Structure 1
């Protein structure tokens, strides 16, 4: 897994921790899926660090959690 994908996943999970999301990746994926209106499989891939989001989804996630997309992506 590329470093940027791993860092994104860690930061996404940190944001989910701040919302008191349950520790289960499946439940986190369901929450993320509903939050930003994406398929659960994609949400699971993002939570688990299997996939890096495209710029549109990255921005949606950043907006939802009120964080800088560059921080979320690991650019900062």
Structure 2
């Protein structure tokens, strides 16, 4: 996973959802919505810390994007599919 790609895509999705642009307000909002500390929220915004697989899945689900795309492993941006949805399609 590439921290620069994650940070760019994470921030792009936050902006598209109307998260505040001002850093303090954005950090508070990310902390609240994603259930993380403000320190971790700030680190995710700047790409200083990359989320683990479980946390990446949670973030992707909330943002409704594919975790592989968000983490930089894929260039195809797809809608997040949880296991139940994926199983019902198969």
Which has more radius of gyration? Answer: 2
TM-score (norm 1): 0.89
Q: Which runs of 4+ in 1 moved over 4 A?
A: none
Structure 1 unaligned blocks of 5 or more: none
Query: How many residue pairs are counted as aligned between the two chains?
Result: 74
Within a 5 Å distance, the mapping from 1:51-62 to structure 2 comes to 51-62=49-60
Retained in 2: the 8 A contact 1:25–1:48? no
Structure 2 unmatched ranges of 5 or more: 75-90
| Greater helix content | 1
Report matched runs for 1:22-41 at 5 Å.
22-41=20-39
1:9–1:49 CA contact under 8 A, matched in 2: yes
